[in-house]
Amino acid sequence: MSDLERFIKHRPDSGQWTILDYIVVGGGLAGTTVAARLAENYEVTVLLVEAGSDNRTDKIVYDIYAYSQAFGTDLDWAWPTDQGKTIRGGKTLGGSTSINGAHYTRGMQAQYDAWTTLLEISAADAGWDWEGILGYMQKSEAFSAPNSQQAAKGAESVADYHGLSGPVQVTYPDAMYGGPEQPDFINSIVNLTGIEHCPDVNGSGSNCVLMTPLTIDWHDSDHRSSSCQAYLTPVESQRTNWLTLTEHLVRNSNYLVEHRKRTASGIEFAPSSGGSTRYAATALKEKIVAAGAIQSPALLQLSGIGDSSLLNSLDIGTNLDMKGVGRNLQEQTMNSLGAGGNFDYGGEGPSDCIAYPNIHQVFGCNKIALQVAVDHNWAASQSASADSQAALEKIYEVQAGLILNGNAPIVELFYDTGYPECQLTGFGIDLWQLLPFSRGNVSITTTDPFTRPAVNVNYFGVGWDLDVQVASVSTSLSTGETVPGTRVPNTNGNFGSDQDWKSWILDPSVGLSAICGICEIHELSSKGVVDAQLKIYNMTNVRVVDASILPMQISAPPSATLYGVTEKAADIIRASN
Ligand SMILES: Cc1cc2nc3c(=O)[nH]c(=O)nc-3n(C[C@H](O)[C@H](O)[C@H](O)COP(=O)(O)OP(=O)(O)OC[C@H]3O[C@@H](n4cnc5c(N)ncnc54)[C@H](O)[C@@H]3O)c2cc1C
């Protein structure tokens, strides 16, 4: 046991404060990355508090082939939402990277460049664009190019796009599917939609169909390379200046007011199992909130940072009246289609093939659908869940511009070998819209930190999002019909009415746990929560660093991007202390 650990273990019980340089709340993707980078300086002390357990030796975490077995267990926050859905999130060391699908892809250059337009003019050169983030994405990555067997199965890559010596291991699995189905899917969708087949999506353009790599470690039997496996495991025996405290939930923070700015004086935390034991700690330098897109806004609200009307209703004193905290939730919405088949998979999952079509490739020549424009009614209808109507209109304009003029992929079609499971030679397509216009929110309903916040996902709050999902179903069905060896019922192209599909979509659709936007980086006048330094506006020493700060969805799952964002954040923090 290190000196620091003894210190922590004993002082809080005696009701005294534990004092460190940095406190990081949440040991997920962002939290472990930031803590690891800060603790590289042996002269500072770092406390990382994680609500879940350390499950690194649990097969349902390290074995990527056991994907989904953690769902519904203690390792899953499983937030219930409106519309009767459930959002998954890792409640374990490594956070959602310990239970996620591990697909590693980046978005389009223009989507990252658009972030700069949302910041204060003075922050335009702060590096929140593709050029500024790419190097950090590569810093976090140790990519291993496909070997000859993987290449024979269709795996490809472009060496220049990748980092080679970062902590997060990225590669293709040895047991990857080698049957005809994945290459056939690629050929079919190219022929059907005109989408390009590209070798690697991690350059600056993601509008293509391809095989994608995973965050797994070939040096370790293709086990999951979660954020804690990447950033903590290799150094934990040496970094005695870094304490990781699992099974403790941060309840709230206390604040001092100085010159009209707030300073966090400390945090209060408690065993995650509940009870009345309370601990306290203070950060001499900074506190970093990295509790993920749902829990971070909830924690801020518990600490009196949020919409004063919500805080007043719960008798929480308002430290900072910030309407943006808990708003602007954007989530990608998924449906799955399955069919029979008669091919030999030639390997094991997870599947490797993804198509990222743009609006033209999804809607074809349907001119009505192509007339997506920033409809003021959309912003008005979503403004209760957004920062403000004006801010939303601005973001919509950027998003619509990327969709209409920038060929930003609007949907992900994930080729799912073996779905549904009961069909031994089946195949499926999981499809989800990538760039929703609908907005939801997160709000605490009680001052009890052990109660999960209310999550309002508001799927399809903007009707166009549903149109995208319906058109994607149609594209998927057509693709399915043209993949050799599959048994999609012969419908002669008559796949049912749009209304039928809308009903079907609304019933089984699930969220993808790719949430962002809820403590977004945005200019203050647009009700942003953090500035370009990721500091909460009008606070001296608290930053939010996790998925909640991303202002808009990108056309990709988020983790590759988030590793880059978090590496950049760590540099910002180190430079300012
Ligand atoms: C089922 C699933 C599949 C996914 N698949 C993919 C994929 O294939 N590719 C991809 O790129 N992305 C995927 N993602 C998304 C990706 O994993 C997340 O976007 C990413 O991990 C978010 O990072 P984060 O640091 O914001 O949050 P997290 O990684 O979720 O970390 C937050 C941490 O904070 C802890 N915490 C919360 N509240 C408190 C508190 N009060 N006190 C202490 N600790 C607290 C949590 O327990 C958690 O460990 C998936 C996510 C899920 C859930």
Contacts of 490 (CB under 8 A, 6+ apart): none
> What is the rounded CA–CA span in Å between residue 450 and residue 431?
34
Closest approach atom of ligand 1 to CA 95: 49
Q: Which atom of ligand 1 is nearest to the CA of 560?
A: 11
Instruction: Name the residue ranges covered by the structural domains of the chain.
Output: 333-511
Q: Are 234 and 220 in contact (CB under 8 A)?
A: no
Whether 564 contacts 167, CB under 8 Å: no
Which residues, in sequence order, are bridge partners of residue 428? 338, 416
CB-based pocket (< 6 A), ligand 1: 25-31, 49-52, 88-91, 95-97, 99-103, 249-250, 290-293, 295, 299, 513-514, 546-547, 557-560, 562
- What pLDDT tens digit does each residue of the chain (577 aa) get? 554 455 555 454 544 457 789 999 999 999 999 999 999 999 999 999 999 999 999 999 999 999 999 999 999 999 999 989 999 999 999 999 999 999 999 999 999 999 999 999 999 999 999 999 999 999 999 999 999 999 999 999 999 999 999 999 999 999 999 998 899 999 999 999 999 999 999 998 899 999 999 999 999 999 999 999 999 999 999 998 998 999 999 988 777 666 667 888 788 899 999 988 888 888 889 999 999 999 999 999 999 999 999 999 999 999 899 999 999 999 998 888 887 777 788 888 788 899 999 999 998 876 556 566 667 788 899 988 887 888 898 899 999 999 988 999 999 999 988 776 655 567 788 999 999 999 999 999 999 999 999 999 999 999 999 999 989 988 888 776 666 555 555 455 566 678 888 888 887 667 778 888 888 899 888 889 999 999 999 999 999 999 999 999 999 999 999 999 999 999 999 999 9
Contacting residues for 196 by C-beta, under 8 A, at least 6 apart: 190, 207, 208, 209
Secondary structure (3-state) at 78: coil
User: Distance between CA atoms of 155 and 134, rounded to whole angstroms?
Assistant: 22
The answer to whether 325 and 309 have CB atoms below 8 angstroms apart is no
What's the CA-to-centroid distance between 442 and ligand 1, angstroms?
16
Strands 46-49 and 18-25, by their bridges, are parallel
Closest among 58, 459, 425 to 224, alpha carbons compared: 58
The sign one gets for the Cα dihedral 52, 56, 59, 63 is positive
State the Cα–Cα distance between residues 577 and 568, nearest whole angstrom.
15
Residue nearest to atom 24 of ligand 1 (CA): 292
Domain 333-511 homologous superfamily, CATH = Glucose Oxidase, domain 3 (3.30.560.10)
pLDDT, residue 16, reads 47
257 C-alpha to center of ligand 1: Å? 32
- Estimate the crossing angle of helix 463-482 against helix 181-193, to 10 degrees: 120
H-helix or E-strand spanning residue 339: strand 333-341
Computed on alpha carbons and rounded to an integer, the radius of gyration of the chain in Å comes to 23
Q: How far is CA 488 from CA 194, 337, 483, 501, in A?
A: 22, 10, 9, 16
Block residue for tokens 């004086």: 265
Beta-carbon contacts of 275 under 8 Å, excluding residues fewer than 6 positions away, are none
Instruction: Tell me, in angstroms, the distance from the centre of ligand 1 to residue 512's CA.
Output: 11
> Which atom of ligand 1 lies closest to the CA of 102?
8
Tell me which of 96, 226, 245 to substitute to probe ligand 1's pocket, judged by most ligand atoms within 8 Å of the beta carbon.
Answer: 96
| Cα distance from N-terminal residue to C-terminal residue, the chain | 28
* Ligand 1 atom closest to Cα of residue 33: 25
Residue 220: CB partners within 8 Å, gap ≥ 6? 169
Instruction: Provide the phi-psi class of 553: left if phi over 0, else alpha when psi is between -120 and 50, else beta.
Output: beta
Measured in degrees and rounded to the nearest 5, phi and psi for residue 23 equal -120, 125
User: If you measure from the C-alpha of residue 163 to the centroid of ligand 1, how many angstroms do you get, rounded to a whole number?
Assistant: 22
The pLDDT assigned to 344 comes to: 83
ipTM of the complex: 1.00
Listed residue (113, 139, 517) closest to 296, CA to CA: 517
Residue 70: what pLDDT?
97
- Closest by CA position to 222, among listed 158, 149, 139, 138: 149
Pocket test for ligand 1, best of 33, 81, 97 (most atoms within 8 A of CB): 97
CA-CA distances (angstroms) from residue 504 to 86, 336, 401, 429?
17, 11, 30, 15
| pLDDT for residue 493 | 55
Tokens linked to 124: 């335009």
Max alpha carbon distance in the chain (Å)?
A: 74
DSSP state of 90: B
Neighbouring residues of 54: CB distance < 8 A, sequence distance ≥ 6: 92, 93, 228, 244, 246
Q: Which H or E run contains 398?
A: helix 389-404
Strand partners, 289: 25, 544
**Amino acid at position 21, single letter:** D
Q: Tell me which residue has its CA closest to atom 46 in ligand 1.
A: 91
Q: Find the helix or strand (DSSP H, E) in which 494 lies.
A: none
**Of residues 567, 515, 527, the one with CA closest to residue 545:** 567
Query: Which is the closest atom of ligand 1 to the Cα of 548?
Result: 26
Residue 215 phi/psi, 5° resolution?
Answer: -85, 80
Question: How do strand 208-211 and strand 216-217 relate by DSSP bridges?
Answer: unpaired
pLDDT at 351: 86
